[in-house]
Structures are given as structure tokens and as C-alpha cells.
Amino acid sequence: MENVLNFTNIDSEDFVGKYGGEEIPVREGETKAFTETIAKHIADQLVTKILIRERKDYLSDPKREVLLKQMLGEVAVPKTAAAGEEEKKEEEMAKPEEEFKELKTKRPRRRRVRK
């Protein structure tokens, strides 16, 4: 299982990152958790955008690393959480799908059209 990182949009405007052909919107100042790969990928995109706007060398400017550190952070996991508790949380997250399983199998009711 891949590590999870928090990504924070430190820019003064909303940002839409792209990964795997998907758009990932993150509002100004918002923090979201992503897999490490996605978080680093979109952080790199935002840093590049900021440095280009500031007319700096977006590949080698020392500010690049500073900005990346501001955007990326580890997701805090309670120290009391044992491996068994993590499995329970994963099971609980899967439950909503089971709750709505019957809704997925039912056909929607047709509305009558008034003449």
C-alpha cells in the first residue's frame, strides 16, 4: 500500500492539477490527502506554475524545494492505532457500498407524463 501525503494549495488562487488524464481541483488554502505519487506530481505542477509566474527558473531555483516542503506534509496517524484497528477502519469505509447495494440493483421509477 502506498503512503499518503497531504497536499496544501499554498497559492493565492484555486489550482487544478492533472494526473493520469484526470483533473484534480484544490481550492486556495485547501489541504487534501492523496497517494504519495499523486501528491508529489501535483505539487510539482503548482510549484512550476508559481515560479513561472514569478519569472524565475522553475527547474533550478532554490525556492522550488522550499515551496514543495510547504505544500507536502505527512498525514497524522494516531500512535494508539494498531494494525487491527486500521483493518477495521478499512472495513467501515467499505460498508456504505453495501448499504446502497440494493439501490444499485433497483430500476428507477418511471414518471408519468401528463398530457
How many domains does one find in the chain? 1
Residue 34 is assigned to a structural domain of this protein: yes
* CA count, 13 A, side-chain hemisphere, 98: 5
Side-chain half-sphere of 112: how many Cα atoms within 13 Å? Answer: 2
User: 31 has which bridge partners?
Assistant: 8
Q: Is residue 69 part of a domain?
A: yes
- Could you write out the DSSP letters of every residue in 22-59? EEEEE-TT-EEEEEHHHHHHHHHHHHHHHHHHTTS-TT
Please report, in tens digits, the pLDDT of each residue of the chain (115 residues total).
788 999 999 999 999 999 999 999 999 999 999 999 999 999 999 999 999 999 999 889 999 999 999 999 987 655 554 455 555 666 666 555 555 555 555 555 666 777 6
- Residue whose entry in the numeric block shows the C-alpha cell 504519495: 36
Tell me if 93 is assigned to some domain: no
Q: Is 0.85 topped by the overall pTM?
A: no
Let me know if residue 52 belongs to a domain: yes
Per-residue confidence (pLDDT) for residue 2, from 0 to 100: 82
Which residues constitute the domain of residue 73? 4-77
Domain membership of residue 88 (yes or no) is: no
Asked, for residue 111, whether it belongs to a domain, the answer is no
**Residue 33, in any domain of the structure:** yes
pLDDT value at residue 74: 83
- Residue 93 is classified by DSSP as H
- 98 in a domain, yes or no? no
